[in-house]
Amino acid sequence: MIDVEQENLREALKRVAVALKEIGLPFALAGGYAVWARGGPEPEHDVDFVVAEEDAPQVATLLAEHGFQVVQPPEDWLFKVFTDDVMVDVIHRDATIPAERAMLADADHIEVISVVMPVLPATRLMVQKLHAMDERYCDFGRLMPVARALREQVDWDVVRAETQDNAFAVAFLFLLERLSII
């Protein structure tokens, strides 16, 4: 059974996705809900979309014109959109790497809660999740179900190549190999 918080997150996801589709600039569902759309566990805390860095100011303006409250936090890699007091992150840079339209062009159109929308590929999702790992956030237990759910959709050679400079990512990939997950 879906709890109220999850239902609110799902509704926010749909509202923002529909608005982004109407705006017409490239975007994709990212983060935990993109993993969920691809068969992974449902997240419990937020919704993430990604837009090209060059489009971020225009997307923020147009979402505000669609009636959403748009907030620019101190972090310079995203902005936040609120709908019915539910927060949605709109990311335009991942681990110092600007999001580009070409990356968004690789998204697959998947039906998510009755709305067809672009969803980042599983390989890109794993790269992003591994890039996020550092000495302050290194929870292999939370990432393990994601890797298990997406393992057949991921190009692990690409993940290895793109995360080779992150010791935490290297250790996680080693663990996945030792457990015969990949």
DSSP letter string, 48-84: EEEE-GGGHHHHHHHHHHTT-EEE--S-SSEEEEEET
Same domain, 129 and 162: yes
Of 120, 143, 165, the residue at which a domain comes to its end is: 120
Closest C-alpha among 44, 41, 25 to residue 92: 25
Residues 99 and 153 both lie in one domain? no
The CATH number linked to 57 is: 3.30.460.40
**Per the structure block, which two tokens stand in for 119?**
């969803």
153 & 113 share domain: no
Tokens 């709890």 — which residue? 3
Q: Count structural domains, the chain.
A: 2
The 10s digit of each residue's pLDDT in 25-75 is 999 999 999 999 999 998 888 899 999 999 999 999 999 999 999 999 999
My answer on whether 78 and 152 are in the same domain is no
Last residue of some domain: 97, 120, 143?
Answer: 120
Q: Coil, strand, or helix at residue 36?
A: helix
Q: What is the mean pLDDT of residues 147-151?
A: 96
Q: Tell me, what's the pLDDT at 3?
A: 86
Beta strands in the chain (DSSP E): 27-30, 47-51, 69-71, 78-83, 86-91, 93-94, 97-98, 108-112, 115-119
Question: Domain range spanning residue 131?
Answer: 122-182
Between the two ends of the chain, the Cα-to-Cα distance in Å is 32
Do 97 and 146 reside in the same domain of the chain?
no
Question: 96 pLDDT exceeds 80?
Answer: no
Other CB atoms within a 10 A radius of the CB of residue 86 amount to: 19
Using one digit for the tens of pLDDT, what is the confidence trace for 114-138? 999 999 999 999 999 999 899 998 8
91 close to 78: Cβ distance less than 8 angstroms: yes
| pLDDT exceeds 80 at position 160 | yes
Q: Can you name the residues that pair with 91 across neighbouring β-strands?
A: 50, 78
